[in-house]
């Protein structure tokens, strides 16, 4: 599989422009022959634009996700729309298969296949409270789904989830061998951003791909550095903090080879 991580320029208060930049990145990556394009956390509103959450929230059939579903179909490429502010009440009213357990707002990532069909909906489990309004504004998710795509079983988590390794172990128990992590990780915690996903890859003998944005907010600047880690924890593709698209070839057979050579998962007690 050819994977692209779209480290987008996210402009606070420019929702229309941010979505347009996401569509352009999908088109650009698809022209390079990729199979899957992954976008950052809250790429449309910007994570730290808390005052924009409610007015830009939408259900799973809303305009942002509909546009990205169309982009996936038009460009014949799978897309991780990771993530938007979901209005759980709107989704419930649509009687969707991914009906939430509660109302409110959620930080929601959606995986579309190359035909624009939803394959996975993940609502962020661990809400960040440190210098953040997220815990007061959002409802945590209660499901940890996986989806089969391109020979992989894919799991999705979001940003702060990286600090909770039990979540990743649960995904591996469900068969996951590639973990996608849309994020809005800010300075100064660069070492955390590089160490935690590498540890998750090593622990779970899985690919881990982190997709950050490039943005300056009033009180935060994102570190960028979107990276693909292989099942040994080796970074195989990365970038700096500027807007970019990171490309990597990933192989499900490599996961099988590593797990066979070093079967640590079999030794769990």
Q: Provide the annotated active-site residues.
A: 41, 124, 159
Beta-strand relationship, 207-211 and 36-38: unpaired
Q: How far apart are CA 78 and CA 148, in angstroms?
A: 12
Place of tokens 């989806």: 147
What is the sign, positive or negative, of the torsion defined by CA atoms of 268, 206, 234, 221? negative
Within a 13 Å sphere around the CA of 125, how many CA atoms are in the beta-carbon half?
Answer: 18
Place of tokens 């030794």: 267
| Cβ contact 38:5 at 8 Å | yes
Cα Rg, the chain, nearest whole Å: 17
Tokens of 119: 């394959």
Tokens of 30: 């698809």
Q: How far apart are CA 183 and CA 188, in angstroms?
A: 15
- In the chain, how many H helices and how many E strands? 8, 12
Q: Hey, which residues does 209 pair with through a beta bridge?
A: 180, 228
Beta-strand relationship, 105-112 and 118-123: antiparallel
DSSP 185: P
| Cβ contact 7:214 at 8 Å | yes
Of 248, 259, 192, 245, the closest CA to residue 214 belongs to: 245
């Amino acid at each position: 599989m050819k994977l692209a991580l779209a480290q987008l320029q996210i402009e606070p208060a420019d929702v229309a422009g941010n979505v347009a930049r996401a569509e352009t990145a999908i088109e650009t990556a698809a022209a390079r022959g990729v199979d899957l394009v992954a976008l950052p956390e809250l790429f449309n509103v910007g994570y730290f634009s808390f005052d924009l959450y409610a007015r830009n929230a939408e259900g799973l059939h809303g305009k942002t996700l509909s546009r990205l579903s169309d982009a996936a179909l038009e460009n014949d490429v799978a897309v991780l729309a990771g993530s938007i502010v979901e209005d759980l009440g709107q989704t419930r009213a649509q009687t969707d298969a991914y009906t939430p357990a509660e109302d409110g707002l959620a930080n929601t990532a959606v995986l579309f296949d190359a035909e624009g069909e939803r394959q996975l909906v993940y609502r962020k489990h661990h809400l960040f409270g440190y210098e953040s309004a997220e815990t007061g504004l959002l409802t945590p998710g209660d499901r940890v789904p996986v989806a089969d795509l391109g020979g992989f079983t894919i799991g999705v988590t979001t940003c702060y989830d990286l600090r909770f390794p039990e979540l990743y172990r649960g995904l591996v128990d469900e068969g996951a061998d590639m973990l996608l992590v849309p994020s809005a990780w800010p300075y100064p915690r660069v070492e955390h951003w590089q160490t935690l996903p590498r540890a998750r890859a090593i622990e779970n003998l899985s690919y881990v791909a982190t997709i950050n944005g490039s943005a300056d907010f009033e009180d935060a600047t994102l570190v960028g550095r979107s990276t693909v880690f292989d099942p040994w924890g080796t970074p195989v593709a990365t970038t700096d903090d500027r807007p970019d698209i990171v490309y990597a070839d990933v192989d499900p057979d490599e996961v099988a080879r590593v797990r066979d050579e070093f079967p640590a998962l079999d030794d769990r007690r």
